[in-house]
Amino acid sequence: MSHPSADPRVNAAVARGAGVDVADPACASILEIGCGTGHHLLSLANRWREASCTGLDVSARGIARARLLARRAGMANVRFCEVSVLEFEGEEKGYDFIISHGVFSWVADEVKVGLLDFIGKNLAPGGVAAVSFNVAAGWKARMAVVEKVRAIALAGDTDEVTALEVFLTVAEEGEKEIAADMLAKGAEVLAFDDFAPVMDAWSLGAVVKLAEASGLRWLGDSVFGEKGNDEEDVREGRTFRSELFCRADAEIVERKQPAKGAAFQQRAVPDFPKLDEWRLVCAQEALPLVDTDLKPCVFTFPQLKLLAKMDGTHSAARLAMDAKEIAPELDFVGWLRHVTERGMFE
Ligand SMILES: C[S@@+](CC[C@H](N)C(=O)[O-])C[C@H]1O[C@@H](n2cnc3c(N)ncnc32)[C@H](O)[C@@H]1O
C-alpha cells in the first residue's frame, strides 16, 4: 500500500515548519525500511525520477515482487535489498528521508531499538524520518478481543476469522464494535495487523523517549506537525500514530514564512488518457493506483480493465464506448473527470 502519512512532500513541509532545512524530495535520497512489496516506494520513485530510492526488507518474497514490479514499470531510480535493518549498511552521506511505516509495532523489541538506532545514525544532517506505530491507548480494548478470539480459535481448532465471527455472536457491548471493525478489515489485513505474531502497541511518550536515546529529535505528527501527548491519546482512544523525527544535532533555522500558495491546479480531461508505466502496471496487477497525493484509489475490476487501456493510444470517446460493455453501470464521463482531478494522467 501507499502511505500518505509517509509522503516526503508532506513530511518536508512539516519539517520546514519546524525549522529543519530539509532537501527537496524531488532529488533526494529516500530509504524505506520494511518496504514489503514496494508499493509505497515505487509510487515515490515514479513521482520523482531524479530521486534515489532504496527499499529494504527481510522478506525474500516481498523484495522479489518489488524488484519485478520496478522492472515492469521501467524504473531505474529504485533498488531493493533483501536484508534486515539490523544488518544494512547505509550510504555514507546518509538519507534525506527515511520511512518506516507499519514496522515498529510488528517487530521484536531488539529490532525496534535497532530500527531507531539505525535512523539516528543514517539520517543526513537535514534529514527527516517518518515512523509509524500502533498506540497502546486505543489498542488495549482491541487486544483483549484478540486474546478472546485466539482462545476460541484454539478451542475450536479453527481459523481466526471464523473464530471472530463466532465471537461476534457472544460479544458484549463495546466488544461488538471492535469485532465488527476487525471483521471489516478482511482476513489478509487481519493476518498482519490484529493477528500478526507480533503486534505491540506503544505510547507516544515511550516511542519518543526511545527515539531520543537513539540521537533523534521529535518534530511532531508526520502530517500535521502537532505535538500530541499520551493523555490526549487515552481520551481519544487513539490507535495509530505516524511521527516525524530529525537528528538531535540538526540545525534548526528560524521558521520561514511559507511561500504564497500556488493556484489550485485545474486539470482538463485528456483527449487520450495516458497513465504512466507504474500506474499501468498497477492497473494490470489490480494494485491500488495512487493519486497525486499518494492516496490509494481502489477501483472495481471493470474500472481497472478500462484503466489498463489508458496508455495514450485510446481516445476518451473510444474508452467511453468500451465502458458501455465493460462497466455498463459506470457514469464514465463523471468517473474520468474524477480520475483526472486526482492527477492520475501524464
Ligand atoms: C506489517 S509489514 C508493513 C509493510 C509496509 N511497510 C506497509 O506498511 O505496507 C512489516 C514489514 O516489516 C518487515 N520487517 C520485519 N522485520 C524487519 C527487519 N528486521 N528489517 C527489515 N524489515 C523487516 C516485514 O518483512 C514486513 O514486510
Ordered by start, the domain boundaries in the chain are 4-135+201-247, 137-192, 277-341
Q: Which amino acid residue places its CA nearest to atom 14 of ligand 1?
A: 34
Work out the pLDDT band at 189, boundaries 50, 70, 90: confident
58 CA to centre of ligand 1 in angstroms: 7
Looking at the DSSP assignment, which residues form a beta bridge with residue 252?
20
Work out the pLDDT band at 141, boundaries 50, 70, 90: confident
Around Cβ 340, how many Cβ atoms within 10 Å? 16
Report the percent of the chain where pLDDT is more than 90.
81
| 9-12: long-range pairs with CB below 8 Å, 24+ | 10/222, 10/223, 11/97, 11/128, 11/130, 11/222, 11/244, 12/97, 12/128
What's the confidence (pLDDT) of residue 254?
Answer: 75
What's the confidence (pLDDT) of residue 94?
Answer: 97
Query: Mind listing the pLDDT tens digit for each residue in 208-254?
Result: 999 999 999 999 999 999 999 999 999 998 999 999 999 999 999 87
Q: Range with the lowest mean pLDDT among 49-63, 89-103, 123-137, 190-204?
A: 190-204
Q: Which amino acid residue places its CA nearest to atom 27 of ligand 1?
A: 36
Pocket of ligand 1 (CB under 6 A): 1, 33-36, 56-59, 62, 84-86, 101-103, 106-107, 111, 192
Those residues with Cβ within 8 angstroms of residue 166's Cβ, 6 or more apart along the chain or in another chain: 152, 156, 158
Q: Cα-atom radius of gyration of the chain, to the nearest Å?
A: 22
Is the pLDDT at 8 greater than 80? The verdict is: yes
Query: Mind listing the pLDDT tens digit for each residue in 273-307?
Result: 999 999 999 999 999 899 888 888 889 999 999 99
pTM: 0.84
Work out the pLDDT band at 38, boundaries 50, 70, 90: very high
Give the Cα separation of 61 and 339 in Å (integer): 32
Nearest to 251 by CA among 27, 94, 16, 8: 16
What's the confidence (pLDDT) of residue 298?
Answer: 81
Is the pLDDT at 164 greater than 80? The verdict is: yes
CA distances from 231 to 83, 222, 237, 245, 306 (A): 37, 19, 10, 21, 48
What's the confidence (pLDDT) of residue 346?
Answer: 87
288 CA to centre of ligand 1 in angstroms: 19
Work out the pLDDT band at 260, boundaries 50, 70, 90: low
CA neighbours closer than 13 Å in the CB half-sphere of residue 304: 15
31 CA to centre of ligand 1 in angstroms: 13
Q: Which amino acid residue places its CA nearest to atom 11 of ligand 1?
A: 34
107 CA to centre of ligand 1 in angstroms: 8
Which of 58, 98, 192 to probe ligand 1 with, by most ligand atoms within 8 A of CB? 58
What's the confidence (pLDDT) of residue 265?
Answer: 63
- 219-36-150 Cα angle (round to 5): 95
What's the confidence (pLDDT) of residue 296?
Answer: 84
Which of 54, 103, 116, 194 to probe ligand 1 with, by most ligand atoms within 8 A of CB? 103
Is the pLDDT at 77 greater than 80? The verdict is: yes
> Which amino acid, residue 273?
P
215 CA to centre of ligand 1 in angstroms: 23
Nearest to 47 by CA among 292, 340, 308: 292
Average pLDDT of the chain, as a whole number: 93
62 CA to centre of ligand 1 in angstroms: 9
36 CA to centre of ligand 1 in angstroms: 6
122, 90 Cβ separation under 8 angstroms:
yes
What's the confidence (pLDDT) of residue 253?
Answer: 85
Q: Specify the CATH number of the domain 4-135+201-247.
A: 3.40.50.150
